[in-house]
Amino acid sequence: MSNAPLETVSAPVRMGTVRAARPASRAHGWVRRALSGMAGLVGVVVIWWLAITLLADPNGLAAQFSPTRALATLPPLVVDDRLLVHIVTSLRRIAVGLVWALLVGVPLGFLLGRVRALDTALSPTLQFLRMISPLSWMPIAVMSLGVGDRAVYFLLAFAAVWPLVMSTAAGVAQIDRRWVQLGESLAATRGEMLWHVYVPGIAAHVLTGVRLAIGIVWIVLVPAEMLGVSSGLGYLILDTRDRLAYSELTAVILVIGALGFLLDSMARLLYRRFGAAAQLQASDER
């Protein structure tokens, strides 16, 4: 008797078992990486605590920067110094700066990737501007836009626009020209070309630019919020320094690092979900 029917039946079973095992293995891998990361973080905090405990005078200035004192000052920061209000204000400024950068950077990057003559003409100028530190524009921003949120928005948008321009232009340049020619030969409208060819083709690149932009604007945010504003994490850094509240200053620094880590994690999750979906959509349509 032939064994072919048994092999035919068992093959899908084995495939189903393999597919069912993949999510479990991915979950175990994610848990293992998360535990390793947490262990590394705890180790760094322990080394930090031991260094201050063993080397610093308990009544000296360095002792105020210990992690235990920083964590102990978090509740008063939340209640007395309205830490949550400062966090929301900073996140709002980040969002506004990113929106302006997207509105300028994605269309400009699309044009640079689509029109070679425009890229040749503007590339030296854009590279020159890109290499100027956003913080160099602080005096000009204050004199032109005044002290307050508008100057901060300008600095954040200026810092975030360049990775979006470069990522979008690279995405447009890497689109398979055969699919562009195919769409044009089928008399596709500009809207259809944009939605079915260009958007899926550049979505992953734009999301990469967004992730890079978030990292840059988060670094620029703290000095930008020292431009005479009365709220935000950068303002809180100055305020704690002026009050010589170094334990609170250390706590604010830890909060800034934690929020930056969460923002980057969200950007990575966004890329994995929507960037992969956009690439799959592009391959399906092609």
pLDDT along the chain (286 residues), means of 10: 47 48 61 73 78 73 77 83 88 94 92 86 88 88 85 93 91 74 65 69 85 91 85 88 85 89 85 62 50
Q: How far apart are CA 38 and CA 73, in angstroms?
A: 23
- Same domain as 41, residue 69: no
- Same domain as 148, residue 130: yes
pLDDT for the residue 2? 45
- Same domain as 201, residue 69: yes
CB of 114 closer than 8 Å to CB of 170:
no
Q: How far apart are CA 24 and CA 36, in angstroms?
A: 18
- Same domain as 176, residue 36: no
- Same domain as 169, residue 28: no
- Same domain as 178, residue 116: yes
- Same domain as 163, residue 34: no
Count of structural domains within the chain: 2
In 131-245, which residue ranges form alpha helices assigned H by DSSP? 138-145, 149-173, 177-185, 190-193, 199-224, 233-242
For the entire predicted model, the pTM comes to 0.76
In this structure, the chain runs to a length of: 286
**Domain region containing 3:** 1-55
Domain boundary among 55, 76, 92: 55
Q: How far apart are CA 245 and CA 74, in angstroms?
A: 12
pLDDT for the residue 18? 45
- Same domain as 227, residue 168: yes
How many degrees, rounded to 5, is the angle at CA 11 between CA 7 and CA 12?
Answer: 135
CB of 214 closer than 8 Å to CB of 98:
yes
- Same domain as 16, residue 158: no
Domain boundary among 40, 55, 70: 55
- Same domain as 49, residue 72: no
Nearest alpha-carbon partner for 200 in 273, 107, 277, 278: 278
